Amino acid sequence: MVERLILPGSTVGILGGGQLGRMMAIEAKKMGYDVICLDPDPDSPCGQVADEQIVSPLNDLDAAARLARRSDVVVYEFENIDVLLVQELEKNFYLPQGSKILSIAQDRIKEKRELQKAGFPVVPFQVISDRHDLEKGVIQLGYPCVLKTSRGGYDGKGQLVLKGLVDMKRAQEMLQSQDMEWVLEKMINFTHEASALWPGTKGVTSGFTR
C-alpha cells in the first residue's frame, strides 16, 4: 500500500461512532478535516460532532462502501469492526490501518502471541476452552486472576475477577454461555496504560488503548 498525504480539507471516514471516534473527529475538525462516520446509533457520540453520519449496522458493506466513496481516507475507531468488511474496503479504498492489524487486535489470544513474538512482556496467561482448562489455569496462575472473552469484550464487559473458589461457579457459567476460547490472566499491579497509533505521521491516524 502506498502512503498518501491527507491534507486538511480532505474527508475522513470513520467506521464506528463511539467515544474514540468522537475524540478523533473533534481533533480532525480542529485540523480542518471533514468527518463522516458510520454507526447504527443515530445519536452516536461521534455522530454528534461529525459533519455527517451514515446510520447503519457496522457490518453493512453497502453502507461502508458509501462512506468510503465519500472519503479520502477511511479508518476504524475501535477493534470490534468486521474484518471481512475491512478486507473488502481495502481492495478499492484507502484504508491505511488495514485488516491484518485489526484481525490481531480484536482477538486477545492472537494479540498476546503477537506481542510475545515481538519481544514484549505479556502478563502470564492461559488459553481456556472448558472448565478443565479453567481449573488447571487457576492452579498454575493462582488467585487473583481474571477470566476474559477472547473476542468482543471491552470496558470490563465479558470479564470476571476470580479471587477464590466462590468465583469458580460463575466462571464456569460464563464459559458455557459463549462458544469461544477464553483467556485467563494473572492479576498484576496496573500502573500505566499505553496507546498504539498507526500508520504514520503524514495524516490522520487512529489507534486502540489496550
Per-residue pLDDT of 151-162, as tens digits, reads 876 666 779 999
103 confidence band (pLDDT: 50, 70, 90): very high
108 vs 97: CA distance, rounded Å = 18
Q: How many residues does the chain have?
A: 210
Q: Is 66 left (phi over 0), alpha (psi -120 to 50) or beta?
A: alpha
Percent of the chain with pLDDT over 70: 90
Rg of the chain, C-alpha, whole Å: 19
Q: What is the mean pLDDT of residues 179-196?
A: 85
Q: Is 118 left (phi over 0), alpha (psi -120 to 50) or beta?
A: alpha
CA nearest neighbour of 57 among 75, 34, 26, 80: 80
Query: Which one has a higher pLDDT value, 57 or 152?
Result: 57
Q: In this structure, is the dihedral angle defined by the CA atoms of residues 118, 107, 17 and 154, taken in order, positive or negative? A: negative
Cell of 174: 460464563
Which domains are seen in the chain, by residue range?
11-105+194-209 (3.40.50.20), 124-186 (3.30.1490.20)
199 confidence band (pLDDT: 50, 70, 90): very low
Chain centroid to Cα 177, Å, comes to 22
101 vs 79: CA distance, rounded Å = 9
Res 208 pLDDT > 80 = no
Do the strands 195-198 and 206-209 form a parallel or antiparallel pair, or are they unpaired? antiparallel
DSSP assigned state of 195: E
pLDDT per position as a tens digit, 2-23: 788 999 999 999 999 999 999 9
pLDDT averaged over every residue in the chain = 90
Q: Decide: 83 and 58 in contact? Cβ < 8 Å.
A: no
Cell of 117: 513474538
Three-state DSSP at 163 gives: coil
pLDDT at residue 155 in the model:
62
Q: What is the mean pLDDT of residues 102-113?
A: 93
DSSP assigned state of 124: -
Q: What pairs with residue 145 in β-bridges?
A: 162, 186
Chain centroid to Cα 18, Å, comes to 11
pLDDT at residue 138 in the model:
96
Q: Provide the residue type at 143 as one letter.
A: Y
pTM for the structure as a whole: 0.79
